[in-house]
Structure 1
Amino acid sequence: MDTTISNSTLKASIKHSGAELSSLKNSQNKEFIWEGNPDFWGKHSPVLFPIVGTLKNNTYRVNGKEYQLPRHGFAREMEFQLIDKRENSAAFSLKSNTETLKKYPFEFELQLIYTLHESTLDIQYKITNKSESKIPFSIGAHPAIALPENFESYALKFEREEVLKYYLLENDLISNRTEVLETTNSLVSLNYKLFENDALIFKTLESNSLTILENSKPYIKVDFEDFPSLGIWTKEQAPFICIEPWLGYSDTAVNSGDLFEKEGILILDANQTFTSKFSIQIL
């Protein structure tokens, strides 16, 4: 089942499965979100919760007990409830249940709130700790932006001029090896060789946004002020680019396995709520 919201400029569709954005079109009916062709990648814009990335051996510990979670957690595969619907906004909720407690022993509610403002789609995450003790979590976005022209026709322009140091993955875990993304006139020209070793992972950035350029013209801006980390990813010959605001990332090889000690993890006090937001602006 899908829910659609709209204003005079944009129309967005969200699947109840995973509360996943599956379409974002302008008034000319141009699509800006990847279609989800499984020959490349069968998703559009999944939510990453309660972890981002991969755990060492897909396993973690809490209070000495071991649990297992797949890459990027379980929320993206679960059915959300539509809890509020207006013409230009919709809110979805996932609450902890018997199934989630087997994988993640914490009571929570995760809400995704989609709101259209002129040419911008805001996506807000709201995590509430429903238990009487602290809970560790990460939250992240994974929107795939459709690129209808040749991949090399696109470039990324970060908000600020900075050294774009990213971490390399080894066996899906964060390694100690880093490289610097080369820029020309503060632009990063896209090519598939950049992603030969999977995603580019930035633990920290000075920029709070980046703009995708199509044939040197502004195409889409992604604003991620609330998110200190960022992933950028595509697959070989795939006509999309994922701009992924993250709070958290994959384990390192030396991670202890205790979820409360995981690098980049957030800790939420009992009965408290955490919110963060990113946005996609059509230019």
Structure 2
Amino acid sequence: MPTDPVHISGDTMSATVAPLGAEMQTLRTADGADLLWHGDPQWWSGRSPILFPIVGRAADDRIAVGDFETGMKQHGFARRALFTLDAHDARSCRFTLRDSDETRAVWPFAFGIAVTHAFSGDTLEVAVEISNDDAEPMPFGFGFHPAFAWPLPGGAGKPHEITLANGAEPALARLSGGLLPPDRLPSPFTAGRLELAHDQFEADAMIFPEGAGEALRYGVRGGPALEFEFDNLPNLALWQPPGAPFLCVEPWHGMAAATGASPQVAERPFSQSLAPGATSRFAWRVTTRL
């Protein structure tokens, strides 16, 4: 099975996507500037992993589906699975993963995951379709975990910010031991705007379980920026190892297990239940404003 990344291009950006995890490896401007983190393990070896069938941690790294119980590391197994290239042209590629003996050892369902990266003009869309090919309902969580340059090209020495399109001030959640406690903290947003600082991440990710909306802007006020839209992704996290030269903008449908909860995947916050034969679609889009 081929393991080399494939290359696609749009009007103002280009990207490469690897079969391992169907993970985007590069996202560059037309003049070659990096928009995506390059995966230096000094900080974090990821770039843009797909999170399935859980987002975040489980207590003792163990999950359960009914009577089935198994070990599962943070963010699930899809990011470490080898996908198959199903389609590829100059502007798009599609990778798929289906259940196998290996996946059934840790996930007791017949399923399919299709990951499409596609350019349209100056916008990149990353879309995932998850199908339940089993005879039983499938509970799961799903998320995206892309990391973007901080500073952005042309933004060196300038403050960066997140601006929510809905102007909201969503409550903040912080993890405790990797799990999600019930309490919420005051929002760091003011009228939808958050000026970013590295010390905001000393207590791990900033998680916004509800209210962040379906669109945001990351970048310099009045300067270079990336504009995002999200489909079927109600949760938002922002993360970096403090001081790292990147920011993860993570839209999710599912979060870490709640503190004190059972290992059942169905009981995790924002977990979904997909009916037999059904498909769920999730997507994010990014447009450059550089």
Query: What is the match of residue 193 of structure 2?
Result: 187
User: Partners of 1:215 and 1:42 in 2: how far apart?
Assistant: 29
Query: What is the match of residue 69 of structure 2?
Result: 66
CA contact (8 A) 2:172 2:188 kept: no
Q: Aligned pair in 2 of structure 1 residues 183, 62: CA closer, same or farther (>3 Å)?
A: closer
Supply the AA of the counterpart residue of 2:273: I
2:132 to 129, 134, 155: 129
* Counterpart secondary structure, 1:166: coil
Q: Which runs of 5+ in 1 are unaligned?
A: none
Question: After alignment, is 135-144 or 202-211 more displaced?
Answer: 202-211
Supply the AA of the counterpart residue of 1:98: D
* Counterpart secondary structure, 2:260: coil
CA positional deviation for 1:222:
1.7
Query: What is the match of residue 7 of structure 2?
Result: 4
* Identity value in percent: 27
* Counterpart secondary structure, 1:176: coil
User: Partners of 1:184 and 1:257 in 2: how far apart?
Assistant: 36
Supply the AA of the counterpart residue of 2:267: E
* Counterpart secondary structure, 2:49: coil
Superposed CA deviations along residues 136-156 of structure 1, whole A, max 9, x for unmatched, are 111100000112355862111
Q: Which runs of 4+ in 1 moved over 6 A?
A: none
User: Partners of 2:121 and 2:258 in 1: how far apart?
Assistant: 41
Superposed CA deviations along residues 18-49 of structure 1, whole A, max 9, x for unmatched, are 11011111211111000111100011100000
CA contact (8 A) 1:152 1:189 kept: no
Supply the AA of the counterpart residue of 2:76: G
Query: What is the match of residue 243 of structure 2?
Result: 237
Q: TM-score, normalised by structure 1?
A: 0.95
1:40 paired with 2:47, answer: no
User: Partners of 2:211 and 2:157 in 1: how far apart?
Assistant: 24
1:101 paired with 2:104, answer: yes
Q: Count residues in correspondence.
A: 283
Q: Aligned pair in 2 of structure 1 residues 183, 273: CA closer, same or farther (>3 Å)?
A: closer
Superposed CA deviations along residues 56-93 of structure 1, whole A, max 9, x for unmatched, are 11112223232111000011011110001111110000
* Counterpart secondary structure, 1:170: coil
Q: Identify, as 1 or 2, the structure richer in strand.
A: 1
CA contact (8 A) 2:169 2:212 kept: no
Query: What is the match of residue 176 of structure 1?
Result: 182
CA RMSD of aligned residues (A): 1.6
User: Partners of 1:246 and 1:262 in 2: how far apart?
Assistant: 13
Q: Aligned pair in 2 of structure 1 residues 110, 225: CA closer, same or farther (>3 Å)?
A: closer
1:56 paired with 2:59, answer: yes
CA positional deviation for 1:256:
2.1
CA positional deviation for 1:216:
4.1
- The 5-angstrom pairing of residues 1-283 of structure 1 reads 1-148=4-151, 149=155, 153-183=159-189, 186-214=192-220, 216-283=222-289
Q: TM-score, normalised by structure 2?
A: 0.93
